[in-house]
């Protein structure tokens, strides 16, 4: 019984040798990236414990020892502190408020623009429009902050200049929180709508042209075409973006909420989101446990939301889900 199988094995390995060598070589090629992932993605994963420990580092000792040996377990204390914090409701509200609006407008506006832009006769003109509208996406939030500052600066800003020209009083924009919900939404749309629009436009150009030709022959109007051809065909793309955005409902763009309002204290009630809070708790208050608990919460909720959103999409449309 044993002998033949052994023989077989010998023969197999004889044939398999190049395969094993190939696997070794391919693994060697993956190794540098794997090491990078270990150092920069997996090593920080143990930091989840920060959220459940009362971090009390002793100077001169290694981080791991400080975290696991020197720091006592805190159970869920960090979280209960976090939830009792008077700031948290506002922070959560801000994060969800902006994200929900970005989720809706971030799909609605680009799809509308793409649907209309796809109908333009001149491809060259459409290309130029796409290029200009894509540009803000590739600027950093720092640059965006400066561009906005050009309009909103109290003394030199263009908006106040116009206001004064018409005899109105100048507004101290960076100290008037009332305007900033609208301003931040406009800035976000300005920066990202073009990019999303081009994604949808690419999806529209990939739609089979004969569908449109048939519809045209049948005398379909613009709205009918959009309703019955374009939107159904865009569904997978929209679903993908919807799932990804839902997964990051508690995440926020740090640059938009920290750098664009210039970290102004008076704007904090409307600009402080979870990411800004995590950063400030860590860097300005050195409150590790607090910050870690907030960031754990963000991560866990994000993970769950992603799975839920995916399941919901899967239920309504099998092909459009991500996983």
Interface positions, 122-181, toward another protein (CB under 8 A): 122-136, 138-143, 145-151, 153-158, 160-161, 172, 174-175
Phi-psi region of 263 (alpha: psi -120 to 50; beta: other; left: phi over 0): left
* Residue at token pair 């003109």: 125
Binding status of residue 106 toward another protein by CB under 8 A: no
Stretch that binds another protein, among 81-89, 93-101, 202-210, 309-317 (CB under 8 A): 202-210
Stretch that binds another protein, among 6-14, 90-98, 219-227, 308-316 (CB under 8 A): 219-227
Mask for 71-90, x = binds another protein (CB under 8 A): --------------------
To another protein, the closest distance from the beta carbon of 104 in angstroms equals: 20
Can you tell me which of 283, 311, 316, 317 binds another protein, judged by CB under 8 A?
A: 283
**Token pair in block for residue 115:** 């649907």
Binding status of residue 291 toward another protein by CB under 8 A: yes
**Token pair in block for residue 106:** 């971030």
**Token pair in block for residue 274:** 């979870």
Q: How far apart are the first and last CA of the chain?
A: 45
To another protein, the closest distance from the beta carbon of 3 in angstroms equals: 28
- The size of the interface with another protein (CB under 8 A), counted in residues, is 117
Binding status of residue 48 toward another protein by CB under 8 A: yes
Binding status of residue 255 toward another protein by CB under 8 A: yes
C-beta of 1 vs 45, nearer to another protein: 45
**Token pair in block for residue 155:** 């003394």
Q: Which long-range contacts (CB under 8 A, 24 or more apart) does 259-264 make?
A: 259/141, 259/142, 259/145, 260/141, 260/144, 260/145, 260/148, 260/184, 260/187, 261/174, 261/180, 261/184, 262/145, 262/149, 262/174, 264/174, 264/175
Can you tell me which of 240, 269, 305, 312 binds another protein, judged by CB under 8 A?
A: 240
Can you tell me which of 5, 7, 44, 231 binds another protein, judged by CB under 8 A?
A: 44
Measured distance CA(49)–CA(322) in Å, rounded: 30
């Amino acid at each position: 019984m044993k002998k033949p199988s052994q023989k077989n094995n010998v023969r197999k390995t004889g044939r398999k040798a190049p395969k094993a060598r190939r696997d070794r070589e391919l693994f060697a090629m993956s190794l540098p990236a794997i090491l990078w992932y270990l150092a920069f993605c997996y090593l920080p994963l143990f930091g989840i414990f920060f959220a459940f420990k009362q971090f009390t580092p002793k100077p001169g000792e290694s981080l791991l020892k400080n975290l696991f040996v020197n720091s006592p377990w805190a159970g869920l204390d960090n979280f209960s502190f976090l939830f009792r914090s008077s700031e948290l409701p506002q922070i959560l509200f801000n994060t969800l408020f902006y994200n929900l609006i970005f989720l809706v407008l971030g799909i609605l506006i680009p799809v509308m623009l793409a649907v209309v832009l796809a109908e333009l006769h001149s491809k060259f003109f459409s290309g130029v429009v796409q290029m200009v509208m894509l540009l803000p996406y590739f600027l950093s939030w720092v640059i965006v902050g400066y561009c906005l500052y050009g309009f909103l600066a109290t003394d030199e800003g263009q908006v106040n200049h116009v206001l004064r020209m018409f005899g109105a009083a100048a507004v101290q924009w960076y100290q008037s929180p009332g305007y900033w919900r609208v301003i931040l939404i406009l800035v976000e749309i300005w920066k990202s709508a073009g990019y999303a629009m081009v994604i949808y436009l690419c999806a529209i150009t990939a739609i089979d042209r004969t569908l449109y030709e048939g519809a045209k022959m049948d005398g379909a109007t613009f709205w009918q075409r959009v309703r019955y051809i374009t939107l159904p065909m865009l569904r997978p793309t929209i679903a993908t973006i919807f799932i990804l955005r839902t997964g990051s409902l508690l995440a926020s763009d740090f640059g938009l909420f920290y750098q664009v309002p210039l970290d102004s204290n008076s704007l904090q009630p409307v600009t402080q989101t979870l990411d800004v809070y995590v950063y400030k708790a860590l860097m300005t208050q050195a409150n590790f446990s607090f910050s870690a608990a907030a960031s754990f919460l963000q991560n866990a909720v994000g993970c769950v939301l992603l799975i839920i959103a995916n399941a919901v999409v899967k239920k309504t449309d099998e092909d459009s889900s991500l996983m």
